[in-house]
Structure 1
Amino acid sequence: MTAAAQWAQGGEDALEAFPVNITGVLIGYARVSTKGQNLDRQIAALTDCGCAKIFSDKKSGKNAEREELWKALDYARPGDTLVVPSLDRLGRSIQDLIAIVAGLRKRGIGFRSLHESLDTTTPGGRLVFHVFAALAEFIRELIVQGTHEGLVAARARGERLGRPPAMTVEQVRHARAMLADPEASVTSIAKLLGVSRTTIYKYVPELAAGRDSLAAGARGEIDQ
């Protein structure tokens, strides 16, 4: 199910604040990208707004292993609200952000971002995230559509799709010619052509039958 569908699920109450009954505590989460950065300002803001417990990570938002974030999400209970200093402290992308907040909603947990003044425990904050989810889904569909159209156009132009070959036809021809010389090692030929030994064996499969067969093949090409 898409993020937008997850948000839409619930029918007429889709834009109502959640959780309906805010009976729990405020749980703070702070993050800086490197160990050299200071968390004091974020922690102070979370403390001032009334967070009873604060978790913090010193890792890039691109790092999936944000241990303290997962601890905060695990600690939260229905009726609680997760609070962050700003949206970029929580999500690596808008899709990541929406996925986390949608997960909180399913568990009856609210979400607040102090800098953006977003609060899903209010109807207005819920509306903003509803729009975010729809926008993220729209962007995803545009990317998929654009990629598909690009592939179709490339095929129509006769372009080769996928990864380029490790060896060109010319390199394979040179490899066969050099391999016909029993004094030339596979390792030296691979280094000369700028490829690995495995690549040589892959693109010159007759090498597995022995060097004699390559020499015979090379002599046949010369005779022709």
Structure 2
Amino acid sequence: MLIGYARTSTTEQEAGLEAQTRELKAYGCDEIFQEQVSSVSRREELERCLKFVRKGDSLVVTKLDRLARSIPDLVKIIGALEEKGATLNILAMNLDTSTPTGRLLINLVGSIAQFEREIMLERQREGIAKAKGEGKYKGRAATARSKSKQVQELRQAGLGASQIASRVGISRASVYRIFGGE
């Protein structure tokens, strides 16, 4: 049985999810699991998919990055599939782990993908450091601290922390932090 898995990182990527699903159906997947969640979050549909897979099945994804976030994650997923006697098929790479060549290539491709991601993150950190040095990068603006005056006024008016937080649009914890700074 061919079992498809489609994922996008956000709910705004509706067209991407539809395209993956269409491609998986065209390939002949009998069952398709799909979700719109970041790869760093818990992927409940992937978990359900891996539980659903049986001996002789093939898990099919359109691209490697839709399935795994890192080499250890990929190894874990492939291990779970192998334990059940199932294989992995990545359409964009024409890669099938039911063959020795496919198993070799999945490890090479996964390693290259992780390397690319680490290089990209390194460049991003360097860019942020450079921008900070030039005074162009100041980070996220503090939202709660900028509302300190309003929080204090509402407290003087006799409102409680929950009411203040709701009115001002910040968390109760932030309200208490502002109270603590008096």
Q: Normalized against structure 1, the TM-score is what?
A: 0.47
Q: 1:126 to 1:203 in 2, by over 3 A?
A: same
Larger Rg: 1
Where does residue 143 of structure 1 map in the other structure? Answer: 120
Q: Which runs of 5+ in 2 are unaligned?
A: 8-16
45, 55, 71: which one aligns with 2:28:
45
Per the normalisation by structure 2, the TM-score is 0.54
Which residue number in structure 1 is paired with residue 11 of structure 2? none
Q: Is the CA contact 2:165–2:171 (under 8 Å) kept in the aligned structure 1?
A: yes
Query: Tell me, what secondary structure is at the counterpart of 1:185?
Result: coil
1:87 aligns with 2:61: yes
Deviation by residue 1:138-178 (Cα, 9 ceiling, x = unmatched): 1221133124323433443455446624122xx435655x4
- The root-mean-square deviation of aligned C-alpha atoms, in Å, is 4.6
1:199 paired to 2:178: no
Runs of 4+ in 1 over 6 A off after TM superposition: 188-192
Q: Could you say which residue in structure 2 is the equivalent of 1:128?
A: 105
Q: Which runs of 5+ in 1 are unaligned?
A: 1-26, 47-53, 208-224
Compared CA separation, residues 30 and 89, structure 1 to 2 (3 A): farther
> 8 Å contact 1:32–1:58 — kept in the other structure?
yes
1:15-94 matches, cutoff 5 A: 27-31=1-5, 42=25, 45=28, 56-60=31-35, 62=37, 64-66=43-45, 68-73=48-53, 75-76=54-55, 81-84=56-59, 86-88=60-62, 92-94=66-68
| One-letter code aligned to 2:117 | R
Q: Is the 8 A contact 2:6 2:62 kept in 1?
A: no
SS at 1:103 equivalent:
helix
More helix by share: 2
Identity %: 20
Contact 1:83 1:111 in 2 (8 A): yes
Are the equivalent residues in 2 in contact too, given 1:30–1:43 (CA < 8 A)?
Answer: no
